[in-house]
């Protein structure tokens, strides 16, 4: 059935000596960071087209991989939409298998959401008209076809969706796309002889698929030329399963300015930032000293020690710090761009408005033992139930505010809710730390968190999803659905 990627069962020591040699030689070469094409809805009459298609991509010179992309061979264009507009997006499926396109982070009614119920059959076109009514933010879109989301995203079906508005424009933040406003879609992938392969087997379900090669916008070992000044980076964790623990090699500080829901109230100076799958952040980095520097990630922190050891033994994750992208500042000194003191005012959700509390535990079924016995798919769940498209798990009233208490078994799980933004009320019983601030749509959970959620979008004819954003967990049942009416 699956023609676009050759599956590979990865086992310890399975790489041939020739592969290792070739790899270390080619790993030294750097390539220009690819920047996805920008499509602005206003310059296209509020009508955009995406075509999900099969293509060929050279991640390494003289090596080709069969991949998936929107309007291209891998990933998709960056779509920019403006608050207040209604944007039609015609999505055509040329894959030869079912797909769907979910607008992750967009606050729109359930039937426009692009989740597992909005299936686009082969050769069909889906034409949602998306009302853009939320503040400026870095969102993304990706396949969400139930049972195959992980494979389709891994093969390339993801892209960036930028919302902009007047309030953001008035701040004068760097916003020349591809110049001082750079999208960075962070992923890890597994290659054999330079061709993309899809890790198979129980481990890749339990851990989620991981790879030993990092890519940014589909580029391996990328270099980005940036102006000598303040640059905005829009970071998206587009990996199936791994966390990125981001820091610059020279330990420089940067300003975190936006979470998933959009701009923070004021910039936060930091030296490191962790992004779990599905999470985004915008940061401002000062390159005015002209010195080249790399953005790196630490060893994957998302797996508990035993699982991490197993993953490393099977070559699935690197053990040290890995380079994500090298920045080379060039040109004349830019006029000193200053980081604004204040960004936007938030209307805080009010905890006294919460009308009820629901509890969710992301469960790993029989645990490791059951998985090793090969119980097949559907062993993961939420509150012990595997996802069922015919079952509405929760019913919510439109306009209500609720507290959702979420925890996860065995490892860290990024919990995502469609159709809402929420605030983190508490983590492990205490007030949330710096990383939990801002409006979110995805949050890392292991120790229990309390989320304050307001349901402002209806989901009547089609439900919204909540799920773990480790895509293999989602595909294997760690997902539920709720109606809002």
Instruction: Kindly state whether residue 144 participates in binding ligand C2O, applying the rule CB under 6 A.
Output: yes
Per CB under 5 A, 473 contacts Cu ion: yes
d(CA 173, CA 258): 12
| Binding flag, residue 209, Cu ion (CB under 5 A) | no
Stretch binding ligand C2O (CB under 6 A), from 69-77, 197-205, 291-299, 463-471 = 463-471
Q: Tell whether residue 135 is a contact of ligand C2O (CB under 6 A).
A: no
- Distance of closest approach, residue 282 Cβ to ligand C2O, in angstroms: 18
Residue 104 or 421: the one with the smaller Cβ distance to ligand C2O is 104
Residue with tokens 């894959």: 95
The one of ligand C2O, Cu ion, none whose footprint includes residue 470, by CB under 5 to 8 A per kind, is Cu ion
Decide: is 280 part of the binding site for ligand C2O (CB under 6 A).
no
Q: If binding is defined by CB under 5 A, does position 161 make contact with Cu ion?
A: no
Segment (H or E) for 408: strand 401-408
Position with the least CB separation from ligand C2O? 104
Give 205 or 470: the residue with its C-beta nearer to Cu ion: 470
Residue with tokens 């773990």: 468
Interaction of residue 110 with ligand C2O, rule CB under 6 A: no
Quote the least distance from Cβ 420 to Cu ion, whole Å: 10
Pairing of β 47-60 and β 63-70: antiparallel
Q: In this structure, are residues 300 and 243 in contact, taking their beta carbons and an 8 Å threshold?
A: yes
What is the closest distance, in whole angstroms, from the C-beta atom of residue 104 to ligand C2O in the complex? 4
142 binds, among Cu ion, ligand C2O, none (CB under 5 to 8 A by kind): ligand C2O
Provide, rounded to whole angstroms, the least separation between the CB of residue 65 and Cu ion: 27
Residue spans of alpha helices (H) in 91-209: 149-155, 166-170, 202-206
Is 469 one of the binding residues for Cu ion (CB under 5 A)? no
Query: Pairing state of beta strands 158-164 and 195-199?
Result: unpaired
18-24 long-range contacts, Cβ below 8 Å, gap at least 24?
19/192, 19/193, 22/193, 22/194, 23/191, 23/194
* 142 touches ligand C2O (CB under 6 A): yes
CA atoms of 413 and 410, how far apart (whole Å): 9
List, in order, residues 6 or more apart from 446 with CB less than 8 Å away: 407, 408, 411, 412, 413
What's the closest the beta carbon of residue 63 comes to ligand C2O, in angstroms?
Answer: 29
DSSP 369: H
Residues that bind ligand C2O (CB under 6 A): 102, 104, 142, 144, 278, 416, 418, 465, 467, 469
- Chain residues binding Cu ion by CB under 5 A are 104, 413, 418, 468, 470, 473
């Amino acid at each position: 059935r699956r023609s676009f990627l050759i599956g590979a069962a990865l086992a310890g020591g399975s790489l041939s000596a020739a592969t290792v040699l070739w790899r270390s030689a080619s790993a030294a070469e750097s390539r220009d960071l690819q920047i996805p094409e920008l499509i602005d809805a206003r310059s296209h009459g509020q009508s955009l087209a995406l075509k999900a298609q099969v293509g060929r991509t050279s991640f390494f010179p003289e090596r080709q991989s069969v991949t998936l992309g929107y309007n291209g061979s891998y990933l998709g264009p960056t779509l920019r939409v403006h608050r207040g507009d209604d944007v039609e997006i015609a999505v055509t499926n040329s894959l030869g298998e079912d797909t769907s396109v979910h607008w992750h982070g967009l606050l729109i009614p359930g039937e426009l959401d692009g989740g597992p119920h909005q299936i686009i059959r082969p050769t069909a076109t889906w034409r949602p008209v998306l009302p853009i009514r939320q503040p400026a933010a870095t969102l993304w879109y990706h396949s969400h076809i139930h049972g195959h989301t992980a494979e389709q995203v891994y093969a390339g079906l993801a892209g960036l969706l930028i919302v902009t508005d007047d309030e953001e424009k008035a701040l004068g933040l760097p916003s020349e796309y591809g110049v001082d406003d750079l999208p960075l879609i962070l992923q890890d992938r597994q290659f054999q002889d330079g061709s993309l392969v899809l890790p198979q087997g129980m481990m890749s379900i339990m851990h989620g698929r991981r790879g030993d090669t990092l890519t940014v916008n589909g580029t391996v070992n990328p270099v980005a030329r940036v102006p000598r000044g303040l640059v905005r980076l829009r970071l998206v964790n587009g990996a199936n399963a791994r966390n990125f623990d981001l820091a610059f090699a020279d330990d420089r500080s940067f300003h975190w300015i936006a979470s998933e829901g959009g701009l923070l109230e004021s910039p936060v100076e930091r030296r490191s930032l962790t992004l779990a799958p599905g999470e985004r952040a915008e940061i401002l980095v000062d390159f005015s000293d002209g010195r080249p520097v790399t953005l790196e990630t630490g060893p994957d922190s998302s797996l508990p020690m035993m699982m991490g050891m197993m993953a490393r033994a099977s070559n699935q994750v690197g053990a040290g710090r890995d380079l994500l992208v090298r920045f080379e500042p060039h040109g004349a000194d830019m006029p000193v761009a200053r980081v604004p003191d204040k960004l936007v005012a938030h209307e805080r959700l009010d905890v006294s408005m919460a009308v009820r509390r629901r509890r969710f535990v992301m469960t790993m079924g029989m645990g490791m033992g059951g998985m090793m016995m090969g119980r097949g798919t559907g062993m993961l769940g939420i509150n012990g139930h595997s996802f069922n498209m015919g079952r509405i798990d929760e019913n919510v009233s439109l306009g209500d505010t609720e507290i959702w208490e979420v925890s996860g078994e065995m490892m860290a799980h990024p919990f995502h809710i469609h159709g809402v933004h929420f605030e983190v009320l508490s983590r492990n019983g205490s007030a949330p730390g710096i990383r939990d601030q801002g409006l979110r749509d995805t949050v890392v959970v292991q120790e229990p968190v309390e989320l304050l959620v307001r349901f402002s979008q209806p989901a009547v004819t089609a439900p919204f999803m909540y799920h773990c954003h480790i895509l293999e967990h989602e595909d294997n049942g760690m997902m539920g659905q709720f109606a809002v009416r």
